[in-house]
Structure 1
């Protein structure tokens, strides 16, 4: 008498209960091995990333990485005109010094390094955050005040270095000097200005001749 098609089939020597149990045991061993490999790989990745962050933090805090504003350059034209609510990015004073000029909604012109003081990620301006917008580092949620460059949130330990901006009679916008993080404005201006007229206008104590 033939067994119904949907009834349990007997296990014999060629596919019986012993063979089924052996297949299950082999599958369990593979799953266990895969899980162990995955855990080892995960721990290796976590250790590598954590080590990288520690090294990165140490290098930054030790001052090994390039600091924005080291050195000086001639004035750089960054825009023909900058309207309220607009911003422009540029490199100043060197090609590794990423910076941004912002015309705040009330017309104030400001400039900053866009290299975060935490781990040197890129900083963005979010114009829709508050009256002046904010300067934001997406890597670790760092936030800076758009009007002053001061830290307002997240892990950055210092304000953003500033870029001294000037507007000429024709409306063009120029980067003319830099101020390091925590440095007095006049000190930074007098340290980096190259234009004799600007040096005189800033009334720099020892550089009125532009030297």
Structure 2
């Protein structure tokens, strides 16, 4: 004995089926987006090796160039940047060259009146050697600091972080 499907049951089954497919179409991409980072491979070391020997670093800040690959969507490009590196006792310090006021590039001893400070030419901003902003000048905060290390005798540059040298 077969049971007849009423018009009301047919519409109910049809709407439930279509609603299920629509819900799956919305929920599955969101689930994929949420779970995808769990299945991604971790980067094998975030330190970038430079061409500057650690033995060449003195107490005077020097410009150290480094390059890395940057991926923007599907486009991969080679980016070249630099940091100011100097030795503080046994420690090697790497500071960002980007001024905290307007994002201009700071130089070491760029102002003849302040030979032992970082100088920002945009609005005459000054930073101490450890990256601390000089009171009374435009910068509102200290220069950022980079993780730095030594690998096979060469300087390695890591992630940027807040300046830990300034109290």
Q: In terms of Rg, which structure is larger?
A: 1
Unaligned ranges ≥5, structure 2:
1-42, 71-77
Distance 1:151 1:86, change over 3 A: closer
- Residue 89 (structure 1) aligns with: 64
1:120 is matched with which residue: 92, 103, 116? 103
Equivalent residues of 1:91, 1:97 under 8 A apart = yes
The offset of 1:91, in angstroms, is 5.2
Partner Cα separation in structure 1 for residue 80 and residue 145 of structure 2 = 11
Where 2:134 maps in the other structure, the secondary structure is: strand
Equivalent residues of 2:52, 2:64 under 8 A apart = no
- Residue 142 (structure 2) aligns with: 159
Unaligned ranges ≥5, structure 1:
1-71, 186-211
Partner Cα separation in structure 1 for residue 61 and residue 90 of structure 2 = 10
The offset of 1:180, in angstroms, is 3.4
The structure with the largest helix share of the pair is: 1
Distance 1:79 1:146, change over 3 A: farther
Map 1:35-114 → 2, pairs under 5 A? 74-81=46-53, 82-84=56-58, 85=60, 87-90=62-65, 98-104=81-87, 106=89, 108-114=91-97
- Residue 37 (structure 2) aligns with: none
- Residue 139 (structure 1) aligns with: 122
Partner Cα separation in structure 2 for residue 144 and residue 108 of structure 1 = 20
Equivalent residues of 1:137, 1:143 under 8 A apart = yes
Q: Would you identify which runs of 4 or more consecutive aligned residues in structure 1 move more than 6 Å?
A: none
- Residue 55 (structure 1) aligns with: none
1:176 is matched with which residue: 158, 161, 166? 158
Partner Cα separation in structure 2 for residue 144 and residue 162 of structure 1 = 13
Q: Deviations over 1:61-103 (max 9, x none)?
A: xxxxxxxxxxx98211123313313512335776778441322
Equivalent residues of 2:84, 2:96 under 8 A apart = no
Partner Cα separation in structure 1 for residue 139 and residue 83 of structure 2 = 18
Q: How many residues align?
A: 108
Query: Higher RCO, 1 or 2 (CA under 8 Å, sep at least 6)?
Result: 2
The offset of 1:105, in angstroms, is 7.2
CA RMSD, Structure 1 to Structure 2 (Å): 3.4
The structure with the largest strand share of the pair is: 2
